[in-house]
A and B are shown apart, each in its own frame.
Chain A
Amino acid sequence: MKNNSRRGFMGKAFGAVAGVGAVASLYAMKRSWDPLPSVKAAGFTTLDMSAYKENELVVEKWRGKPIFVLKQSEEMTKKAQENPKDIERLIKVGDAYFMVTIGLCTHLGCIPGYNSEEESFLCACHGGTYDYTGEVTKAPPPRGLDIPPFKIDGMKLVLGEEGPEYKKMKETGVTL
């Protein structure tokens, strides 16, 4: 009997050591699977906002994803100002307003196309549409195009960093 409890103790002690080892190795496995530092460091893109033309969609790349940049024309800005929800989605750099969004449909991740005459986006995959501010105008997409984290730096826009304007957007629920 005495022996049994000794063996039992050894068993439990070994179990405890093995448990610690198992948890530690699980943590190591989790960390190995994390994105590499070089991948994370490359997660910033700087856009020069003075180079864009009105109502002409430019597709940039940030974190491998397409980024839609659409400089709003005066009429578009006026139209947006009439609807506070629309103007909230736009980013003011210098004197101009810009729509800057991740160019992936919020439904299943296809890339919508822009029609500059109708000033709207159409996702051909499942027929979702968005207006010139990236707001959804026809289902199935559950929400407007996502706005990437940005920081305004003079006439430059740094994607991947959360500036005060972005944080405000996040609070009001305009973006995720």
Chain B
Amino acid sequence: MAHFTKATSLHDWLNQRLAIDTLRRVLATEYWIPKNINFLWAMGMVLAITFAFLLVSGIFLLMYYQPNVDLAFDSVNYTIMQEVGYGWLWRHVHGVAASVVFLVIYIHMFTGIYYGSYKKGREMIWLSGMLLFVAFSAEAFSGYMLPWGQMSYWAGMVITNLFSGGSLHADGLVEWIRGDYVPAQAFLNRFFMLHVLLIPLAIIGLIVLHFGALRIPHVNNQDGEEIDFEAEAAKYKAGDKANSKVIAFVNDFMSKDMMVVSIYLIFFFYLVFYHYDFAMDPVNFDPANGLKTPTHIYPEWYFLWSYEILRPFSTNVGLIAFAFAQVIFFLLPFLDRSPNAVPASRRGLFKYWFWAMLIDMIILTAMGKVPPEGLFSAIGFYAALTFIGLWIALPFITKFEKKV
């Protein structure tokens, strides 16, 4: 057993038992961040804050929400919105955060792609991040079910139908997932469980993994410069802060992070108070009806691009293309064969690849929202083909990239 002495203060008492000084050093004051990074690197902190908002607002919604097909709709739209004091605030915070979190995730992802932050020893950061993206997607989908409106019901119907595998007709599997022939009580209960317990647990675990994956390769920087973190940290600790290429996470970098977070929160609460409806589909304010479909079914904006990859093809081809779109981002560190971990602007054809991919995904998102008719249908089809083509081309165009 460790040697304990009579504590001189509460701090000392805790320090002897929990090593809080060491913990503070490792997690904060001696966690080194490169100096040459811009505001895009603050998205991790923005995401952490948004997740905290989701968690807290979710806890308050949970106290009045009823996971019952007959009561769910009113418990959200009447009890929480009308009766519970400030219930509307929690709902709007939860709804807006659920939508905005994806905007920030996409910025975070494309920042990583642009600066090559998934390469050379940073593969685990990318993979754990992609797992987080999948977990957030499942979290968003299961949460979308809970108000039990028309869009909830039909989204549940369509998405679970995907598991029948087209011509495979695995209807038994679909019924097993639903616990019924159609989305019904069993379905609502199990998605409620997934949304409030199992997936949040997985997300918290994955966040720990994602942060842990960062400790050894360290954060990338704006120039893709390979920094000797130990030597630079030694300079910093010796007092030569000006010449050191790194700074401490707390308080130095945190102040910059919090600046970005503050600006973000102004935008966030502007949405919460004045434009909360952008995150809420009007169709979902009709109670679920299994005998009437909305004329046009579409997912929330953040899933539109992958929905549009599914849609223009026949059932089976569409499902394969959809599955491709879901997994292909995981393979990015392995499909990019270039040795360079520098910004896309300093690379070869990858520079064009990056912007083509970004623009293609924006086009897919726009086409996913409009009804699939005429010209829109054709644009969606070619955008989906472009998406697949770009990924197939990636290993070839990066293989011949010159070392910078």
Distance of A43 Cα from B186 Cα, bound (Å): 15
Q: Does A126 contact B (CB under 8 A)?
A: yes
Q: How large is the interface on A (under 10, 10 to 19, 20 to 34, 35 or more residues)?
A: 20 to 34
Assess the B315–A35 pair: CB atoms within 8 A: no
Q: Does A20 contact B (CB under 8 A)?
A: no
Question: Using Cβ atoms and an 8 Å threshold, which residues of chain B touch A23?
Answer: none
Assess the B372–A39 pair: CB atoms within 8 A: no
Assess the A59–B291 pair: CB atoms within 8 A: yes
Q: Does B237 contact A (CB under 8 A)?
A: no
Q: Does B207 contact A (CB under 8 A)?
A: no
For B, the interface residue count at a CB cutoff of 8 angstroms equals 29
Assess the A107–B293 pair: CB atoms within 8 A: no
Contact with A along B168-183 (1 / 0, CB 8 A): 0101000111111110
Q: Give the contacting residue for A34; candidates B176, B182, B184; CB below 8 A.
A: B176
Assess the A124–B373 pair: CB atoms within 8 A: no
Distance of A148 Cα from B296 Cα, bound (Å): 26
Question: Using Cβ atoms and an 8 Å threshold, which residues of chain A touch B184?
Answer: 39, 64
Contact with A along B138-176 (1 / 0, CB 8 A): 000000000000000010011001000001010100011
Question: Using Cβ atoms and an 8 Å threshold, which residues of chain A touch B292?
Answer: 111
**Interface hits, A95-137 → B, CB 8 Å:** 107-111, 124-127
Residue of A nearest to B185 (CB): A39
Question: Using Cβ atoms and an 8 Å threshold, which residues of chain A touch B178?
Answer: 35
Q: Give the contacting residue for B158; candidates A63, A108, A140; CB below 8 A.
A: A108
Distance of A110 Cα from B150 Cα, bound (Å): 12
Assess the B293–A35 pair: CB atoms within 8 A: no
Assess the B315–A107 pair: CB atoms within 8 A: yes
Assess the B290–A66 pair: CB atoms within 8 A: yes
Assess the B157–A109 pair: CB atoms within 8 A: yes
Residue of A nearest to B181 (CB): A63
Q: Does A65 contact B (CB under 8 A)?
A: yes
Question: Using Cβ atoms and an 8 Å threshold, which residues of chain B touch A125?
Answer: 293, 295-297
Assess the B186–A142 pair: CB atoms within 8 A: no
Assess the B296–A39 pair: CB atoms within 8 A: no
Question: Using Cβ atoms and an 8 Å threshold, which residues of chain B touch A64?
Answer: 180-182, 184, 290
Distance of A66 Cα from B296 Cα, bound (Å): 18
Q: Give the contacting residue for B373; candidates A33, A127, A142; CB below 8 A.
A: A127
Distance of A64 Cα from B186 Cα, bound (Å): 13
Interface centre among A34, A61, A64 (most CB of B within 10 A): A64
Distance of A110 Cα from B372 Cα, bound (Å): 15
Q: Does B314 contact A (CB under 8 A)?
A: yes
Assess the B314–A140 pair: CB atoms within 8 A: yes
Distance of A65 Cα from B179 Cα, bound (Å): 14
**Interface hits, A58-114 → B, CB 8 Å:** 59, 61, 63-66, 107-111
List, sorted by A's number, 30 A–B pairs whose CB atoms are closer than 8 Å.
A33-B177, A33-B179, A33-B190, A34-B176, A34-B179, A35-B175, A35-B179, A35-B180, A35-B181, A35-B186, A36-B179, A39-B179, A39-B180, A61-B290, A64-B180, A64-B181, A64-B182, A65-B290, A66-B291, A109-B154, A110-B297, A111-B292, A124-B295, A125-B293, A127-B373, A140-B314, A142-B167, A142-B314, A142-B315, A176-B169
Seed contacts A126-B372, A142-B315; 20 additional CB < 8 Å A-B pairs: A33-B176, A34-B176, A35-B175, A35-B176, A35-B179, A36-B179, A36-B186, A39-B181, A61-B290, A61-B291, A63-B180, A63-B181, A64-B182, A66-B291, A107-B315, A108-B158, A108-B297, A109-B158, A110-B293, A110-B297
